[in-house]
Amino acid sequence: MTLVQEHKQFALGIDIGGTNTKYGLVNQRGEVLLKGKIKTKGYPDVKDFIEVLYQTISPEVEKMSKESNFVGIGVGAPNGNYYNGTIEDATNLEWKGVIPFTDYMSEKFGVPCRITNDANAAALGEMMYGAARGMKDFIMITLGTGVGSGIVCNGSLVYGSDGFAGELGHTIVKPNGRKHWNTGSEGSLEAYASATGITITAKKLRAEFPDSMLNDYPEDEINAKTVHDCCLKGDPIAIEVFRYTGQKLGEALANFVMFSSPEAILLFGGVIKAGDFIMEPTKLHMERNLLPIFRGKVKLIFSELDEADAAILGASAMVWV
Q: How far is the CB of 75 from a second copy (least distance, A)?
A: 19
Asked if 256 interacts with a second copy (CB under 8 A), we say yes
Query: Closest by alpha carbon to 318, among 63, 20, 14?
Result: 14
Asked if 284 interacts with a second copy (CB under 8 A), we say no
Contact with a second copy (CB under 8 A) among 168, 195, 266, 278: 168
22-61 residues near a second copy, rule: CB under 8 A: none
Specify whether the CB–CB gap between 113 and 75 falls below 8 A: yes
Asked if 162 interacts with a second copy (CB under 8 A), we say yes
Specify whether the CB–CB gap between 278 and 286 falls below 8 A: no
Specify whether the CB–CB gap between 255 and 294 falls below 8 A: no
**String of contacts with a second copy for each residue 71-90, x by CB under 8 A:** --------x--------xx-
Question: What span, in angstroms and rounded, lies between the C-alpha atoms of 44 and 94?
Answer: 6
Asked if 295 interacts with a second copy (CB under 8 A), we say no
Question: What span, in angstroms and rounded, lies between the C-alpha atoms of 141 and 119?
Answer: 8
Question: What do you get for the CA distance between the two ends of the chain, in Å?
Answer: 26
Q: Which stretch binds a second copy (CB under 8 A): 21-29, 36-44, 151-159, 272-280?
A: 151-159
Q: Which stretch binds a second copy (CB under 8 A): 108-116, 168-176, 200-208, 306-314?
A: 168-176
Q: How many CB atoms lie within 10 A of CB 191?
A: 27
Q: What are phi and psi of 85, to 5 degrees?
A: 70, 25
Asked if 1 interacts with a second copy (CB under 8 A), we say no
Q: Which residues bind a second copy (CB under 8 A)?
A: 79, 88-89, 135-137, 151, 153-154, 156, 158-168, 170-175, 183, 185, 251, 254-256, 258-263, 289, 291-294, 297
